[in-house]
Amino acid sequence: MAIISLFLPLSLRAKSEEVKINVIPYPQSVTMGNGTFKSAGANFNCDQAIGSESQRVIKELADKITLISGKTCSFATPVGLTPSIAQGKMKGFIFLKNASYGPEEYSIDITKKKCIVQANGYNGFLYAVMTLKQLMPVAIFSDDLDPNQAFLMPCVSIKDSPRFAYRGFMLDCARHFFSVEEVKKCLDVMALYKINRLHWHLTDDQGWRVEIKKYPRLTEVGAYRNGTMIGKDWKSNDGKRYGGYYTQAQLRDVVAYAQKLGITIIPEIDLPGHMVAALAAYPNLGCTGGPYEVSTKWGIMDQVLCPGKEDMFTFLEGVFTELMDIFPSEYIHIGGDECPKTEWEKCPACQAKIKELGLKATKDHTAEQYLQNYVTARMQKFLNDHGRKIIGWDEILEGDLAEGATVMSWRGVKGGIEASKRGFDVVMSPNSYLYFDYYQSQNLDKEPLAIGGDLPIEKVYGYEPFEGMDASQQKHILGVQANLWTEYIATPSHLEYMMLPRMLALSEIQWCKPEDKNFDRFMTSFKAESARILDTLGYSYRKPE
């Protein structure tokens, strides 16, 4: 790693003398003091002005220290607790509401006798607790009694807030299905590293994973495929029926679980392409009427939804109506990527719709591409009318795109640069830096099967989202997201291996200012602390070389 770091940008190697605490993502401001603070048996005093949910998170920390150390940490919520009172003779943990802080901002001041934490909102207190846990011995992440554990923390002052409000991770459960328990395990590690958006890819050609009560065949038929291709042999099929789906009750449970971790779940229904599983269930929604079969192979399928049929829009509105009732997120992801137009070119209904709308080919786009714009615009209006916003892959930029849409740039950084130049908000998610289904080294003999590419952790860490953008464009960058597609990932251990520790590098892109990033410091922290945390929590991950 030391050799590799010589070739990293200077901004990633600056401040090497400032490796002070092993916290990831590294806080915005760190000032070290002298000595340590003993957490075991310390009193927890929580300003009553702090909301009940924040108090719950704080009390959970007190209870965990009590459980492991065997020394009781009392918990109280006194009225009128102020900074001046906290700075007086009080000892132990003191949590204060500070209305001047941003919603995810927090500060920690640890002396030998007390630890004062300030924040304004739930996520601020949550992230403060996550940082406190990383400052403690790794035993805080276990459930084993250790009466000799004092839970010492270094005396330090921390002032912290994120660079980006949108800090995302995408999990594909359509190609391979992962249990509620495994999804929650992903959420747990996201929360630890202050990632606040789970983009949940729930539908694709190879499986439909969300229960829609109005359309029961989506899960009766669309959730299962008759086998899966073996490795990268496109002519093969393992002959094993494969599938699964989440009931609406399960989805609500995961949404509630994520909310407690400060995470918003953004569901994706990919359209109008990547819809073969839905077409297998309801063949009337396609141009040809089928027959269709849930795909057993990966790749891009020519069979797509038919925008020439009004029934198709009725179907989508029914799906999104139920989806919005489950997911309270501001954004709904509508996909929009990799939609072949070959069927639309031959489809009488599509061609009639093109004529009706007066769509004409231009120098840059076909009439069929403008037809996809029509689909996007209708779904955008429907979701807007219900108080939601759309986000889609960067293909939605092709042709016309209505004001208010947000673009997720995945085909490198070009789409994000173009979208921001045109005034659209953007989430940067370039495959060149943030596709975690890529191999983690060029030594493929030592890596599990992956889709291809070469994305070592140092390349992930080196990504700068503002590169190639002026100040006016930078204002449109909402944040950064990594994507984990699962065509070649079928087990939880493989999923976690591909996710970790690259997710930790992602967290520093999302949280830290460029001048605060340092790859050597990051890897030192990972080896000294985070690797041991992941071991304690039972995650599979790629060991550093």
Q: Name the residues annotated as catalytic.
A: 204, 274, 338
- The rounded distance, in Å, linking the Cα atoms of 432 and 453 is 8
314: helix, strand or coil:
helix
- The rounded distance, in Å, linking the Cα atoms of 119 and 121 is 6
β-pair partners for 335: 271
- The rounded distance, in Å, linking the Cα atoms of 225 and 202 is 15
* CB proximity list for 393: less than 8 A, separation 6 or greater: 335, 336, 337, 407, 408, 410
Helices (H), 347-413: 348-357, 367-385
237: helix, strand or coil:
coil
Which of 389, 426, 433, 423 lies closest to 408 in space, CA to CA?
426
Scored b (16 or more CB within 10 A) or e, 342-355 reads ebbeebeebbebbe
Scored b (16 or more CB within 10 A) or e, 500-521 reads bbbbbbbbbbbbbeeebbbbbb
Which of 346, 373, 370, 351 lies closest to 359 in space, CA to CA?
370
Establish whether the linkage from the previous residue to 137 is cis, with ω within 30° of 0.
no
